[in-house]
Amino acid sequence: MKNYRMTICYEGTRYDGWQRQGTTDQTIQGKLEAVLSRMCGAPVEVQGSGRTDAGVHALEQVANAHMETGLTAPEIRDYLNRYLPADISVEEVTEAGPRFHSRLNARGKTYRYRIYVGDAKPVFERNYVWAAGEPLSVERMEAAAEYFLGEHDFKSFCANRRMKKSTVRRIDSLTVRRHGKEIWITVTGNGFLYNMVRIITGTLYEVGTGQRAPEEILEILEKQDRQAAGITAPPQGLTLLKVLY
Amino acid sequence: MKNYRMTICYEGTRYDGWQRQGTTDQTIQGKLEAVLSRMCGAPVEVQGSGRTDAGVHALEQVANAHMETGLTAPEIRDYLNRYLPADISVEEVTEAGPRFHSRLNARGKTYRYRIYVGDAKPVFERNYVWAAGEPLSVERMEAAAEYFLGEHDFKSFCANRRMKKSTVRRIDSLTVRRHGKEIWITVTGNGFLYNMVRIITGTLYEVGTGQRAPEEILEILEKQDRQAAGITAPPQGLTLLKVLY
């Protein structure tokens, strides 16, 4: 049994997210496992660096799987790309050390959230952006972003109310940039709670519209209460850009 | 009754093309007519500058319709954008002169065809490109493109064998450019026959792979026979960029 590391790109629109579910195989993990199990003639379990929600995309998700196969790593990649649907692509397969674990070894992640602020309907980008429909002040959002930097308890930015493990995370970088007709929020941190990037985005959005002051972020963090933060931005604007090891 | 001119952007993936069909309303024209007829409380006929095939997109299709309504032109636009699906957008509605006719008054059109030549699967662009899967020589394709310029009988590049009207058209510009991991073929002419851009693209593709010599284009034009030309490139790579008046 060798341990293979895979870099996977997908458009999440048609899927129920990354994680395999009992009742449906309409998940990225499920699709990968189905093709690899057929390839190996035995059940294969794929371990991802973390889940992505339904409708969320990934440029470079990382996963690993222990498999017995006569194929080389590039042949595994080609086999996957031949049999996976057109909205999932495997960019790279390499042999990893036996102890490599895509989730446990991940040191951090970078996500991007795209908010569309143009006048016209984003016809070609509609599955990749949130057309929020309000004028937003990038300056206010940038000012608010500062407060997220560093290590904090992000309980207010976690959708899982029954989270028993630590909700302390570190954000290393959080930028808000105008990019043509879009505003791109790009965040790197050592780990993200359930819906954390989408709640940060929804809160930054409320700062951008003027509903909230930038300095309220401090208060929200202190309250450790999901109710204190802003809305959860919709999934389709979010893309996992990179997993850091 | 006023005559309104509309500029329409759409992703053609989900549609059976521009032109309304008896049995289905899954056409762009059909969707526009349904919303406008409801708006006016009376049947409205929409005239487009020309058809686009199933799967073909448009950045700025132009259409016109004679309608009786109390709404202003911008209000018509907003009404359309509210009730049309997310993959059709009306960029502009203006009052036109009573004799403006989007098809008969059109002096020309610009189309773009995108061929994807990267190694990875084009996950996010898969509905907008042809992943042709062969290395292509842009230089050879550029050399071939020269032969199309000017006025020619394009019968060899017309999918309609029973075409009784003239198949003479004028191509004013035809460029082949590398654009990142894609090759963009951009063509402007005074009019295009059925599948003409897709057959030109398929033929340029065969020149790009080395199957044909650039100077064969002359021969193909002279033969006035669809069989002489190359394959019909698939629809999803094609976008109507602009209609010229």
Residue B7 has pLDDT above 90, yes or no: yes
**What is the distance, to the nearest Å, from the Cα of residue B80 to the centroid of all Cα atoms in its chain?**
22
pLDDT mean over B227-242: 98
Mean pLDDT, all residues of chain B: 96
Q: What is the pLDDT of residue B71?
A: 97
Q: A3 vs chain B: nearest CA distance in angstroms?
A: 23
pLDDT mean over B32-51: 96
Residue in B16, B25, B53, B119 annotated catalytic: B53
Residue A60 amino acid letter: E
DSSP A94-132: EEE-TT--TTTT--EEEEEEEEE--SS--TTTTTT-EE-
Residue B101 has a CB neighbour count (10 Å cut-off) of 14
Q: What is the pLDDT of residue B24?
A: 65
Tokens for B75, please give them: 């209000």
Place of tokens 């521009």: B18
Hey, are the CB atoms on A57 and B86 less than 8 Å from each other?
no
Sign of the alpha-carbon torsion through A225, A227, A230, A235: positive
Give the model's confidence band at B235: pLDDT under 50 very low, under 70 low, under 90 confident, else very high. Answer: very high
pLDDT in tens, B89-132: 999 999 999 999 999 999 999 999 999 999 889 999 999 999 99
pLDDT mean over B185-196: 97
Q: Taking a contact as any Cβ pair under 8 Å apart, which residues of chain A between 116 and 175 contact chain B?
A: 120-121, 123-124, 126, 128
CB-neighbour burial class of residue A71 (10 A; exposed 0-12, middle 13-18, buried 19+): middle
Q: How far apart are CA B161 and CA B145, in angstroms?
A: 24
pLDDT tens for chain A, 245 residues long, are 999 999 999 999 999 999 998 766 899 999 999 999 999 999 999 999 999 999 999 999 999 999 999 999 999 999 999 999 999 999 999 999 999 999 999 999 999 999 999 988 999 999 999 999 889 999 999 999 999 999 999 999 999 878 789 999 999 999 999 999 999 999 999 999 999 999 999 999 999 999 999 999 999 999 999 999 999 999 999 999 999 99
Tokens for B85, please give them: 């699906």
Cβ-Cβ contacts under 8 Å, B89 against chain A? 120-121, 123
Q: How far apart are CA A6 and CA A234, in angstroms?
A: 27
Contacts of A205 (CB under 8 A, 6+ apart): A115, A132, A134, A136, A141, A230, A231, A233
Q: What is the pLDDT of residue A23?
A: 66
Q: How far apart are CA B131 and CA A188, in angstroms?
A: 33
User: Between β-strands A182-189 and A108-116, what pairing exists: parallel, antiparallel or unpaired?
Assistant: antiparallel
Contacts of B80 (CB under 8 A, 6+ apart): B6, B32, B35, B36, B39, B90, B93
Give the model's confidence band at B50: pLDDT under 50 very low, under 70 low, under 90 confident, else very high. Answer: very high
Q: B68 vs chain A: nearest CA distance in angstroms?
A: 25
The answer to whether residues A193 and A160 touch, using CB atoms and an 8 Å cutoff, is yes
Hey, are the CB atoms on A123 and B88 less than 8 Å from each other?
yes
Q: What is the pLDDT of residue A22?
A: 76
Q: What is the pLDDT of residue A25?
A: 84
Range in B6-10, B53-57, B130-134 with the lowest mean pLDDT: B130-134
| B6-34 exposure pattern, b = at least 16 Cβ within 10 A, e = fewer | bbbbbbbbebbbbebeeeeeebbbbbbbb
Q: What is the pLDDT of residue B22?
A: 76
Residue B231 backbone zone (phi > 0: left; psi -120 to 50: alpha; other: beta): beta
Hey, are the CB atoms on B9 and A120 less than 8 Å from each other?
yes
Place of tokens 């036109």: B96
Q: What is residue B144's three-state secondary structure?
A: helix
Residue in A16, A25, A53, A225 annotated catalytic: A53
Range in B30-39, B94-103, B156-165, B196-205 with the lowest mean pLDDT: B156-165
pTM metric for this prediction:
0.91
